[in-house]
Amino acid sequence: MEQMTLTQAMQERHSVRSYLDTRVPEEIRAALAVCRDSLTNGQDLHIRLVWDDPEGFDSRLAHYGHFRNVRNFMVLSAPRGKDMDEAAGYCGEMLVLRAQQLGLRTCWAALTFNRKAVRRLVPDGDELIIVIAMGYGADNGTEHRSQVEEKLAARSADDPAWYLQGVRAALSAPTAVNQQKFRIARSGRTVSIRTAGLGPCLKIDLGIVKCHFEIGAGKENFQWA
Ligand SMILES: Cc1cc2nc3c(=O)[nH]c(=O)nc-3n(C[C@H](O)[C@H](O)[C@H](O)COP(=O)(O)O)c2cc1C
CB of residue 141 inside a 6 A radius of ligand 1: yes
> Domain range spanning residue 186?
149-220
Q: Same domain for 205 and 108? A: no
Q: Same domain for 92 and 180? A: no
- pLDDT per position in the chain (225 positions), as tens? 568 999 999 999 999 999 999 999 999 999 999 999 999 999 999 999 999 999 999 988 888 779 999 999 999 999 999 999 999 999 999 999 999 999 999 999 999 999 999 999 999 999 999 999 999 999 999 999 999 999 999 999 999 999 999 999 999 999 999 999 999 999 999 999 999 999 999 999 999 999 999 999 999 999 999
Q: How many domains does the chain have?
A: 2
- Is 19 a member of any domain? yes
Q: Same domain for 109 and 21? A: yes
- Which domain CATH number covers 186? 3.40.109.30
d(CA 133, CA 152): 28
Q: Same domain for 35 and 130? A: yes
pLDDT for 206 equals 98
pLDDT for 59 equals 87
Mutation test residue for ligand 1: of 107, 111, 128, 211, the one with most atoms within 8 Å of CB = 107
CB of residue 170 inside a 6 A radius of ligand 1: no
Q: Same domain for 154 and 125? A: no
CB of residue 100 inside a 6 A radius of ligand 1: no
- Is 225 a member of any domain? no
Closest approach atom of ligand 1 to CA 67: 11
- Is 110 a member of any domain? yes
Provide the terminal-to-terminal Cα distance of the chain, rounded to the nearest Å.
39
Q: Considering only CA atoms, which residue is closest to atom 21 of ligand 1?
A: 178
Q: Considering only CA atoms, which residue is closest to atom 7 of ligand 1?
A: 109
Q: Same domain for 66 and 126? A: yes
Q: Same domain for 162 and 196? A: yes
Q: Same domain for 105 and 182? A: no
pLDDT for 93 equals 98
pLDDT for 29 equals 98
Q: Same domain for 60 and 107? A: yes
213-224 burial code (b ≥16 CB/10 A, e <16):
bbbbbeeeebee
Is the distance from CB of 194 to CB of 180 less than 8 angstroms? no
Strand duo 190-195 + 182-187: pairing: antiparallel
- Is 143 a member of any domain? no
